[in-house]
């Protein structure tokens, strides 16, 4: 079932139930602890606030975000705006949604021309898988999609992307291993334009001989595509593996130095107990989070929805707030 259909069919309640299911690890790491903490607390005191702070740090929210949240909660407690632990939980919820709201932005496609979505990121982050899932996402919205196998370095990369092409029943433009990556994507865009395809999703390598080579290759791809059609490349998506925690931020910054990244896809949220990394990334990079990956199947890519996400990690009942 596709995203668009299941949003209208199941409604937000069903989506929350499914997201909570996929975020089971974060629920064990963060949600269950926070639920227990609020259930156990009778009054607001230092112990409660310190326990929240510890949990935020353990869940990879990062120091800047943790300190900001704690300052806000403490201030509200001192002003006597919050009367009981439940009010603290609601204030936390509101604050968390606020932190993410600016970052949640759907990835919109132009109507009138073929456009390229370039996937970049370190090896193993989930670029190829996300390219396959994105193709499914846009096909479900009745957009025509092609894939370009821009990872010409890793031996099995082309076959892996072709498998996603088969699954989606769409064309994959590819050359042999060792071919010039920019030329594959150039061919892909030429083919996509001549067939009036809406979107060409271009995979790239996550590792070359060294980091400098990789960055030069990505710069060349951007240069070549822009020269071919200056309006085609509106989206360069940095794919980040959520399970790498705070390391993800360091890696992301090194990409931002070379490539004009426009947004983030955060993968493997189903595999981490530390969903707090979403907040740390938002604060550190200031880039929109377009999608989150919550599994390895075709429909395991979801547009990022802060309210659903916060409800899922605060382990709220499925009927609450949605």
Ligand X SMILES: Nc1nc2c(ncn2[C@@H]2O[C@H](COP(=O)(O)OP(=O)(O)OP(=O)(O)O)[C@@H](O)[C@H]2O)c(=O)[nH]1
- Interface positions with ligand X (CB under 6 A): 121, 123-129, 151, 154, 157, 206, 239, 267-268, 270-271, 293-296, 300
**What is the DSSP annotation of 139-198?**
HHTT--EEEEEE--SSTTHHHHHHHHHHHHT--EE---TTS-HHHHHHHHHHHHHHTT-S
Q: Strand 289-293 relative to strand 263-267: parallel, antiparallel, unpaired?
A: parallel
| Smallest separation (angstroms) from ligand X to the CB of 67 | 30
Report the nearest approach of ligand X to the CB of residue 161 (Å): 9
Residue identified by tokens 């907040």 is 279
CB of 267 to ligand X, least distance (A): 4
- What is the Rg, in whole angstroms, of the alpha carbon atoms belonging to the chain? 21
Residue 20's binding partner among ligand X, Mg ion, none (Cβ under 5 to 8 angstroms by kind) is none
Consecutive H or E run containing 302 = strand 301-303
Instruction: Tell me which of Mg ion, ligand X, none is bound by residue 293, counting a contact when its beta carbon lies within the kind-specific cut-off of 5 to 8 angstroms.
Output: ligand X
CB 201 → Mg ion: shortest distance, Å? 12
Q: Considering the rule CB under 5 A, would residue 128 count as an interface residue with Mg ion?
A: yes
- Rounded to the nearest 10°, the torsion over CA 216, 220, 222, 227 is 160
Residue nearest to ligand X (CB): 206
Residue 271 binds which entry of Mg ion, ligand X, none, with Cβ cut-offs from 5 to 8 Å by kind?
Answer: ligand X
Instruction: Name the residue nearer to ligand X (CB basis): 58 or 160.
Output: 160
How far apart, in whole angstroms, are the C-alpha atoms of residue 303 and residue 56?
A: 24
- Answer with the entry of Mg ion, ligand X, none that 144 interacts with (C-beta below 5 to 8 A by kind): none
CA-to-CA distance for 316 and 37, rounded, in angstroms? 14
List the Cα angle 150/240/206 in 5-degree steps.
Answer: 30
Q: Looking at beta carbons only, is 126 or 276 nearer to ligand X?
A: 126
State in angstroms the smallest separation of the CB of 19 from ligand X.
Answer: 13
Binding site for Mg ion (CB under 5 A): 127-128
């Amino acid at each position: 079932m596709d995203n668009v259909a299941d949003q209208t069919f199941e409604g937000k309640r069903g989506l929350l139930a499914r997201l909570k299911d996929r975020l089971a690890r974060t629920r064990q790491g963060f949600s269950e602890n926070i639920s227990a903490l609020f259930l156990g607390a009778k009054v607001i005191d230092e112990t409660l606030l310190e326990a929240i702070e510890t949990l935020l740090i353990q869940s990879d929210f990062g120091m800047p975000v943790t300190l900001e949240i704690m300052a806000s909660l403490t201030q509200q407690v001192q002003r006597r705006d919050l009367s009981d632990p439940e009010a603290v939980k609601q204030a936390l919820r509101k604050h968390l949604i606020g932190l993410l709201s600016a970052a949640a932005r759907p990835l919109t496609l132009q109507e009138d021309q073929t456009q390229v979505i370039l996937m970049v990121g370190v090896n193993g982050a989930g670029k190829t898988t996300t390219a396959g899932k994105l193709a499914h996402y846009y096909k479900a919205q009745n957009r025509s999609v092609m894939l370009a196998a821009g990872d010409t370095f890793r031996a099995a990369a082309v076959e892996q992307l072709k498998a996603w092409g088969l699954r989606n029943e769409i064309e994959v433009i590819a050359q042999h291993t060792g071919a010039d990556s920019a030329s594959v994507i150039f061919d892909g865009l030429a083919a996509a334009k001549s067939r009036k395809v809406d979107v060409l999703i271009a995979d790239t390598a996550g590792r070359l001989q060294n980091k400098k080579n990789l960055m030069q290759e990505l710069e060349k791809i951007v240069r070549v595509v822009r020269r071919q059609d200056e309006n085609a490349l509106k989206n360069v998506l940095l794919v980040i593996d959520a399970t790498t925690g705070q390391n993800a931020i360091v890696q992301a910054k090194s990409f931002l130095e070379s490539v004009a990244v426009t947004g983030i896809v955060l993968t493997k949220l189903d595999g981490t107990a530390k969903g707090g990394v979403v907040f740390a990334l938002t604060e550190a990079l200031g880039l929109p989070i377009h999608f989150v990956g919550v599994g390895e199947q075709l429909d395991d890519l979801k547009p990022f929805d802060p309210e659903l996400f916060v409800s899922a990690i605060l382990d709220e009942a499925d009927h609450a707030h949605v």
